[in-house]
Structure 1
Amino acid sequence: MKCTVMVLWTNLSLLLSPMSSSSQTLMAGIQITSFIFISSVLIHTCSADDNIYSAEMPETVTALTGSCVQIPCTFTISHFEDKRNKAKSINGIWIKNKSQFGHEDSFIAFNSSKNIIRGFSDIQMIGNLSERNCTTVFYNIMMNHSDLYFFRLEMEPNVFRATFNPNTDDSRKNVRISVKDSPQPPELKPTDLKAVMENTTVSLSCSAEAPCPKQPPTISWSNIPESAHITTQLQEKPDKTQSVFSHMTFKASYMDHRKNISCTVTYPRKTSNDSTVETTVMLQVLFSPKETHITVDPSASVSVNTSTLTCKSKARPSREMNYTWYKRGQETPIAQGKKISLIVTHNNTGSYFCIAQNKHGNQSSAEIQLTVEESGFSQRVIYGCTGGLLAFFLLSAVFFYCMRTKTSSQVHVIGRDQATDKNSDMLAVYANSSIAISKKSEKKETDDLHYGEIDFSKLQTGDMTREHSNNDPQTEYAEIQVAGRNKKNQKC
């Protein structure tokens, strides 16, 4: 600056040298006045250049109640390195509502030199002021924290003191903290997935504001395809604020058609309010016919009657579908359309199939067999089955009856001797047996024993069949208990 003034003075002196003394006196006064004016302007310019300062921070940051908010902040000061070397301490101050440091309406929320934190549970300046970084985190934000905030820098002792006030220079900024109870839904791109071709790679991105990078939100995906690949990271935006960004890629399949893919964001905070928001987009896939098949009404094997065949298939677009019918053994189509009706006879039985087609491709169905059943043959089969069942039940009944009879005869065994006398009546003999004899005409009650004598002398030995030994005496006694009301001996 001094060199510029001296050059200007020299040039003015050369201009005044040829003049008269009176003229020189007049011009000398003008020269002195001009010198004083020009010098003051240059000195002011020099002083202004020596004190240029500005700060960069977002105009607005959105905070969530119960969470924290980070204000990215950097500043620039002319000849900062020289000032930093002269200063013994560098302190940062955040002023709420008013930029004037000593104004009665201003509120000092934070002062690093005096460890002042007012109105907040905690404030931390995470930026290094020696590196022109004034980034600060405000914790446990509440609704009453919404306001304008100004940053002030003090380099002591009395090296530099200034509040970065937007009222004096457009390049200097303040920041507005806007507090909300509910988080903003995430941004999902692309917002329209109506024309995704099958087997192509689809990319979806979901981003959510991260007002507090120290406590970032989490992003999750739901109802995503099996082939999906996801990456998530924290990204910085142009205004130095940050957001969580999640990127997903997958290969589109026809099974993903009309899926509602959702991106869900959860914010950690100290409040009972809902901190989860989501955004959903519907995936619509274009694909050729799939799962083509035939249905038959009433059945695939029918009697002589009209049968309706329907060709069904999945495809998109479905309104442009064409259906062509074929019979095995015939090269030309037999019909067009989704449904056909056939009078099934011996002449048109066989295998049928259909081909579904749209502008993206075609697919053939599996073959279906149509046959005709003979009604007389069916009746004979029914009658034969019925007769066989009846015969089976009858034989089973006879078998069980014989088994029951055989079992009863083994339980009740009766031994008897029979003898045939040509000259006399047949006599029945029961030996070594206790027999209870009662006659309906003579009913008696007795507990006595009665004995009877039987004479076998008149019986011929050759005409008798005995179960006992021939050495038995000719006269044998049998003990007979006769039940009756009157006690009486009876001789047999």
Structure 2
Amino acid sequence: MSGLQIISFIIIISSVLLQTHSADGDVYSAVLPHTVTALTDSCVLIPCTFNINTFEEKLQKTKQIYGIWLKKTSRFGEDKSSVVFNSSQNIIQGFRHIEMIGNLTERNCSTVFYNIMMNHSDPYYFRIEMEPKVFRVTFNTNQTDASDSSKTVRIKVIDLPQPPELKSNPDVSKSVMEGTAVNLICSAEAPCPKQPPTLSWTNIPKSANIITQLQEKPDKTHSVFSSMTFNASYMDHRMNISCTATYPRNISNNTTVNTTVMLRVLSDISVSVINCF
């Protein structure tokens, strides 16, 4: 398998959450996925960007800019246990490690949560503080009901990853002619881009060429894609080709899941015999 290459593309999809609010004349918004799925004993990236009107002017008045993540509630200050990350006080609570990889001065609040456990399944709110008292706000809150978790990002934790998705062009399960160029594409979610799954193939045709890439999706989450192209051979008829995704774990053993497709290849000879009847 070739080395991972990071590529990106842009398509508009509905899984991105954009909330715009205003308070005291300030208009602010954030872009977050509705849900990120995390694997236990791994990490998960929450892609996060925001916009605040007159942000550049506010930056000129700001001496320090901080990022905060709240769990379950958007009401900052009422319950100290709700703060899982606060860069102003170097607080990391309930997680072994949290790293804000985005640059807040560039409107990027992307954050990696490490060593995910089942009890981390919850809604999370992002808050920014520009000090001294330039601007403070918690993004993506329901202005009429602060307990409403539908307006923020939710971490969904699973113990077993979904099997990779396997597509073919043309559809090899419906038979292809010998010599036809076939493209099999295997994809697996990569909730932790720093520890992406590895994709491997079994029963690889002799003429196969394989390219594997880590791709950034429209909502800034990631998947690993592996594309295998080959010329269909009758010798490969009824051969099962599998794509296996192996997910690394920090503590427990690595987890593997796979998907299989059966090749159905017609030769010129078999077609001639069929036409005789």
With normalisation by structure 1, the TM-score equals: 0.48
Question: Which residue of structure 2 lines up, in the alignment, with residue 184 of structure 1?
Answer: 162
Instruction: Report deviation, 1:228.
Output: 0.3
CA distance in 2, matches of 1:106, 1:56: 25
Instruction: Report deviation, 1:199.
Output: 0.5
Identify which of 239, 248, 266 aligns with 2:219.
239
Instruction: Report deviation, 1:174.
Output: 1.4
Question: Which residue of structure 1 lines up, in the alignment, with residue 210 of structure 2?
Answer: 230
Identify which of 247, 253, 277 aligns with 1:267.
247
Q: Determine if contact 2:30/2:140 at 8 Å carries over to the other structure.
A: no
Question: Which residue of structure 2 lines up, in the alignment, with residue 483 of structure 1?
Answer: none
Q: Give deviations 1:218-267, integer Å, cap 9, x for gaps.
A: 00011011000000111111111000011110000100111111000001
Question: Which residue of structure 2 lines up, in the alignment, with residue 213 of structure 1?
Answer: 193
SS at match of 2:175: strand
Question: Which residue of structure 1 lines up, in the alignment, with residue 30 of structure 2?
Answer: 55
Kindly report structure 1 stretches of 4+ aligned residues shifted beyond 4 Å. none
Task: Within 5 Å, give how 1:37-436 maps onto structure 2.
Answer: 50-104=25-79, 107-168=82-143, 173-190=151-168, 192-193=171-172, 194-272=174-252, 275-289=255-269, 315=270, 357-359=273-275
Counterpart amino acid of 2:156?
A: S
- Using CA pairs below 8 Å that are at least 6 residues apart, which structure has the higher relative contact order? 2
SS at match of 2:57: helix
Counterpart amino acid of 1:222?
A: T
Q: Give deviations 1:112-162, integer Å, cap 9, x for gaps.
A: 111100011100000000000000000000111110000000000000000
CA distance in 2, matches of 1:71, 1:115: 19
How many residue pairs match? The answer is 249
Q: Give deviations 1:323-368, integer Å, cap 9, x for gaps.
A: xxxxxxxxxxxxxxxxxxxxxxxxxxxxxxxxxx344x9xxxxxxx
Q: Give deviations 1:150-205, integer Å, cap 9, x for gaps.
A: 00000000000000133039xx9411001111111000013942221111100010
Instruction: Report deviation, 1:48.
Output: 5.3
CA distance in 2, matches of 1:78, 1:173: 20
Q: Give deviations 1:265-323, integer Å, cap 9, x for gaps.
A: 0011124356100000111011122xxxxxxxxxxxxxxxxxxxxxxxxx3x6xxx7xx
Question: Which residue of structure 2 lines up, in the alignment, with residue 371 of structure 1?
Answer: none
Q: Determine if contact 2:246/2:254 at 8 Å carries over to the other structure.
A: no
CA distance in 1, matches of 2:80, 2:128: 20
CA distance in 2, matches of 1:98, 1:106: 10
Q: Give deviations 1:25-73, integer Å, cap 9, x for gaps.
A: xxxxxxxxxxxxxxxxxxxxxx958400011111100100100000000
SS at match of 2:26: coil
CA distance in 2, matches of 1:274, 1:265: 10
| Distance change in 2, residues 1:227/1:54 (3 Å) | same
**Larger relative helix fraction:** 1
| Distance change in 2, residues 1:101/1:146 (3 Å) | same
**Larger relative strand fraction:** 2
Q: Determine if contact 1:56/1:173 at 8 Å carries over to the other structure.
A: no
Q: Determine if contact 1:188/1:279 at 8 Å carries over to the other structure.
A: yes
Q: Determine if contact 2:176/2:266 at 8 Å carries over to the other structure.
A: yes
Q: Determine if contact 2:68/2:128 at 8 Å carries over to the other structure.
A: yes
| Distance change in 2, residues 1:209/1:177 (3 Å) | same
| Structure 1 residue ranges without an equivalent (≥5) | 1-46, 290-314, 322-356, 362-492
Task: Within 5 Å, give how 1:438-449 maps onto structure 2.
Answer: none
Q: CA RMSD in A?
A: 2.1
> Which structure's CA Rg is the greater one?
1
SS at match of 2:70: strand
